């Protein structure tokens, strides 16, 4: 039987609606409008699209969006000065510095200069430490979105065997920590893992976050497992016409859908959840800054 398709687009709409509800309440009951500042350095075309989408989504849920576009030649001192200004601005509850940064800028230094309470990406070393010790933190948006979908589909994740394929700081490692916090037995697999196919076949949950198009095929997946595909890869699509491209995940959908119990598609799975979780994190940061109760179901 074919797997249940987890509709990330629909789920992300629900998350946005919850965020918008909470924003309305914050405005009406507390006179507070949550604000998200996004900093873009340089003209990377993909980053420009992401930043535009973030701005549009932020405004759509009723929050303030502060966009700062800096030239590719911006000095580290000038960028740090801007972040300092945003750190102290009470109208700004969340700060996101779009990555990658131009090569002359030290990404770690820049990320760690954002106040941890305003770090809606969850990349600051303090948030990484808090999450890995199971404490309240800001959680990276993509793994948070994956967790929300898993909880929604399964209810409790307690006792499940989860394999996270990929060990990046942005997805793999925080995903593993979140699953561990929800009492899964977690293995992180990567390019040097031995018998990776057999390992994945033992999993109740497989999260694919390697950035290699369609690497995970049906014979890697145990019958009935839940497969979360974080990959977004642009590949040639000659079947659509000469020079045409299409998006595929890290999972070969056609073969995995026949083995899995549930699967997120690409596009329309994890992708839409990432921006929804950025908005959720901004509302959470705003509530924490004002010592107000946090919206339910929008945090880890």
Is 119 a residue of the active site?
no
Whole-number Å distance between alpha carbons of 187 and 179: 10
Is 121 a residue of the active site?
yes
DSSP bridge pairs for 36? 65, 94
Strands 245-248 and 185-189: unpaired
Is 48 a residue of the active site?
no
Whole-number Å distance between alpha carbons of 84 and 238: 49
Residue nearest to ligand GUN (CB): 99
Whole-number Å distance between alpha carbons of 191 and 166: 8
* Cα dihedral 8→13→17→18 (10° resolution): 0
Question: Do residues 23 and 290 touch, judged by C-beta distance below 8 A?
Answer: no
Q: State the nearest-atom distance from the C-beta of 141 to ligand GUN, in Å.
A: 6
Residues at the site binding ligand GUN, with contacts judged by CB under 6 A:
96-99, 121, 141
Closer residue to ligand GUN, CB minimum distance, 119 or 214: 119
Q: State the nearest-atom distance from the C-beta of 40 to ligand GUN, in Å.
A: 9
Of 119, 121, 204, 250, which one is the catalytic site residue? Answer: 121
Closer residue to ligand GUN, CB minimum distance, 47 or 161: 47
Closer residue to ligand GUN, CB minimum distance, 58 or 98: 98
Closer residue to ligand GUN, CB minimum distance, 36 or 200: 36
Q: State the nearest-atom distance from the C-beta of 142 to ligand GUN, in Å.
A: 6
DSSP for residue 168:
-
**Which burial class, exposed, middle or buried, applies to 234 when counting CB atoms under 10 A from its CB (0-12, 13-18, 19+)?**
exposed
Q: State the nearest-atom distance from the C-beta of 223 to ligand GUN, in Å.
A: 33
Catalytic residues: 54, 98, 121
């Amino acid at each position: 039987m074919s797997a249940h398709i987890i509709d990330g687009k629909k789920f992300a709409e629900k998350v946005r609606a919850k965020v918008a509800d909470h924003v309305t309440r914050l405005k009406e009951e507390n006179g507070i409008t949550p604000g998200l500042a996004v900093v873009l350095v340089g003209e990377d075309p993909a980053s420009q699209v992401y930043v535009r989408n973030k701005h549009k989504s932020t405004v759509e849920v009723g929050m303030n969006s502060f966009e700062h576009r800096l030239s590719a030649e911006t000095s580290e001192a000038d960028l740090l000065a801007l972040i300092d200004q945003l750190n102290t601005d009470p109208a700004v509850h969340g700060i996101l510095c779009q990555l990658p940064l131009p090569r002359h800028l030290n990404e770690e230094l820049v990320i760690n200069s954002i106040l941890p309470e305003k770090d809606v990406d969850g990349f600051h070393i303090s948030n990484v430490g808090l999450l890995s010790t199971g404490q309240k933190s800001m959680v990276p948006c993509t793994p948070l979105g994956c967790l929300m979908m898993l909880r929604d589909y399964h209810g409790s994740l307690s006792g499940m065997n989860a394999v996270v394929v990929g060990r990046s700081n942005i997805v793999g490692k925080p995903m593993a920590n979140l699953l561990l916090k929800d009492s899964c037995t977690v293995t992180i697999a990567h390019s040097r893992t031995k018998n990776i196919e057999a390992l994945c076949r033992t999993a109740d949950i497989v999260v694919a976050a390697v950035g290699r198009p369609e690497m995970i095929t049906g014979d890697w997946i145990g019958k009935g497992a839940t497969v979360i595909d974080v990959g977004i890869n642009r590949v040639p699509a000659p079947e659509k016409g000469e020079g045409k491209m299409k998006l595929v995940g890290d999972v070969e959908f056609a073969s995995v859908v026949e083995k899995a119990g549930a699967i997120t598609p690409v596009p329309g799975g994890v992708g839409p959840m990432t921006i929804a979780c950025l908005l959720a994190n901004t509302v959470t940061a705003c509530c924490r800054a004002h010592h107000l109760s946090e919206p339910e179901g929008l945090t880890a």
